[in-house]
Amino acid sequence: MNRETAPPDALTFWSFVDYAVRKADQELPAVNTDAMRMVLTLNRATSMVIYDLESTVHRPRGLTWPGFRVIFALWLAGPMEAKTTAEISGMSRAALSALLNTLERDGLIVRARASHDRRALQLSLTEEGYGAILGGFRAHNLRESAWAESLEPAEQTELVRLLNKLMAGSTDAKAKFRN
Amino acid sequence: MNRETAPPDALTFWSFVDYAVRKADQELPAVNTDAMRMVLTLNRATSMVIYDLESTVHRPRGLTWPGFRVIFALWLAGPMEAKTTAEISGMSRAALSALLNTLERDGLIVRARASHDRRALQLSLTEEGYGAILGGFRAHNLRESAWAESLEPAEQTELVRLLNKLMAGSTDAKAKFRN
DNA sequence: TCCGAATCATCAAACATTTGATCATTTGAG
DNA sequence: CTCAAATGATCAAATGTTTGATGATTCGGA
């Protein structure tokens, strides 16, 4: 890797992945450039979609993206233990704990001790929380649809299949999971 | 949507997408379930990969995931203006500003005023920053490779193609971009 | 039954991100 | 040339995440 090489004239968000892969391939021995490209691209595509959804749909309605995920899970799967909520919405128990402070303060959810186990926490939506998701989900799904229209139906299916296969392989990859 | 329906016996990280899509389809009119499934799956797959890379490779070496992204960009594309760094690493100028405080304090990067425009900031890696990325990138790419092995080579290529097509469609989707 | 181990939740400190405001510098129209 | 508008960077306040520690409750083997 030549530390003095100047960047190309127009290094932009769009050209960076190609540039990075080419440069790493030239300068480093034994780089798996396909894997590098896959992870870089996956990261970027997701960031774009999430940023769009959060900034156009949820923040204007008073929810952050993580807040939406939790309310969404509670809306779909009904009252449940906090441990389950954390798992299905893909966050650590500690992160959920902090997030619940905001959601509870805003009157969207209610915390209650579980009857069968006084360590456990039972979460449920308030009327206001129910209303928040009702209002937001339509707009959310419309923007999801706009993104999905970039791909043919068969391509959408294939993308989902590939992502699921990638996730399923995490066991073989000995990937680390959240708490 | 039935607000009283109890969640299934075993609602887990793995079963949630199927459950959510089925439930929404049953209970709501006119939901685009394919788009819903695509965005949910994209989000989950990316979270898994990034969490694994951050927690097994970068945090143990003293870098956060965003910190790595910035050092990585500077390593590959050489000294550059902060504005460019923010753009290619997918963060807002304000977020980069805060992140640079940490990286500068840790002695990994140097801030300097650009000569041609005294408003602009020129970023470059220090010796220590250069060493940090040299040590970490190998491990990073090895884990990327482990993830990529879940897919056949042709599937990796196809996944990247579909993600790029998705991103390219953001213009038609009138997606909102970062600052 | 008792007590150590496991489990559930929260806390604390450090860090990163968002939006919106502010300050310094540069640009460009008149 | 002048001054308002645009641009680059930072700041401020609120929020969410991470890791590691601490409390409370339950479980399970001796």
Look at residue B174 and tell me if it is in a domain.
no
A70 and A140 fall within a common domain: yes
A102 and A126 fall within a common domain: yes
Look at residue B6 and tell me if it is in a domain.
no
A67 and A140 fall within a common domain: yes
A68 and A30 fall within a common domain: no
Sign of torsion over alpha carbons B114, B118, B120, B125: positive
A51 and A86 fall within a common domain: no
A67 and A49 fall within a common domain: no
**For residue range B83-100, what is the model confidence (pLDDT) as tens digits?**
999 999 999 999 999 999
A122 and A77 fall within a common domain: yes
Look at residue A67 and tell me if it is in a domain.
yes
Per-residue DSSP letter, B152: -
Number of domains in chain B: 1
Averaged pLDDT, A13-41: 95
Q: Give the contacts of B30 (CB within 8 A, at least 6 positions apart).
A: none
Which tokens go with B124? 């470059």
CATH number, residue B63: 1.10.10.10
Look at residue B31 and tell me if it is in a domain.
yes
Its domain, for residue B114, covers 16-159
As to burial, measured by CB atoms within 10 angstroms (0-12 exposed, 13-18 middle, 19+ buried), residue A2 is exposed
What pLDDT is attached to residue A108? 98
Which tokens go with A35? 């894997």
Look at residue A177 and tell me if it is in a domain.
no
A18 and A87 fall within a common domain: no
Residues A21, A32: Cα–Cα separation, whole Å: 9
CB contact under 8 A, A151 and B174: no
Q: Are A145 and B33 in contact (CB under 8 A)?
A: no
Look at residue B72 and tell me if it is in a domain.
yes
Which tokens go with B51? 């969490």
Look at residue A155 and tell me if it is in a domain.
no
Residue of A125, A41, A144, A78 whose CA lies nearest to B46: A41
A71 and A40 fall within a common domain: no
What pLDDT is attached to residue A91? 97
Percent of chain B predicted with pLDDT > 90: 86
A25 and A95 fall within a common domain: no
Picking from A20-29, A35-44, A97-106, B168-177, which range would have the lowest pLDDT averaged per residue?
A: B168-177
Answer whether residue A3 shows pLDDT above 70.
no
A112 and A76 fall within a common domain: yes
Residues A132, A118: Cα–Cα separation, whole Å: 29
**For residue range A109-157, what is the model confidence (pLDDT) as tens digits?**
999 999 999 999 999 999 999 999 998 999 999 999 999 999 999 999 9
Q: Are A16 and B69 in contact (CB under 8 A)?
A: no
Closest amino acid to nucleotide D23 (CA–C1'): A119
3-class secondary structure per residue, chain A: CCCCCCCCCCCCCCCHHHHHHHHHHHHCCCCCHHHHHHHHHHHHHHHHHHHHHHHHHHHHHCCCHHHHHHHHHHHHHCCEEHHHHHHHCCCCHHHHHHHHHHHHHCCCEEEEECCCCCCCEEEEECHHHHHHHHHHHHHHHHHHHHHHCCCCHHHHHHHHHHHHHHHHCCCCCCCCCCC
CB contact under 8 A, B49 and A166: yes
Percent of chain B predicted with pLDDT > 70: 95
What pLDDT is attached to residue B8? 57
Q: Are A84 and B11 in contact (CB under 8 A)?
A: yes
A45 and A83 fall within a common domain: no
A172: chain B residues, CB-CB within 8 Å: 146, 149-150
- Smallest CA–CA distance, residue B115 to chain A, in Å, is 16
Residue that has been written with the tokens 């870098």 in this structure: B63
**For residue range A151-177, what is the model confidence (pLDDT) as tens digits?**
999 999 999 999 999 999 988 777 889
Per-residue pLDDT band at B21 (split at 50, 70, 90): very high
Look at residue A83 and tell me if it is in a domain.
yes
CB contact under 8 A, A90 and B47: yes
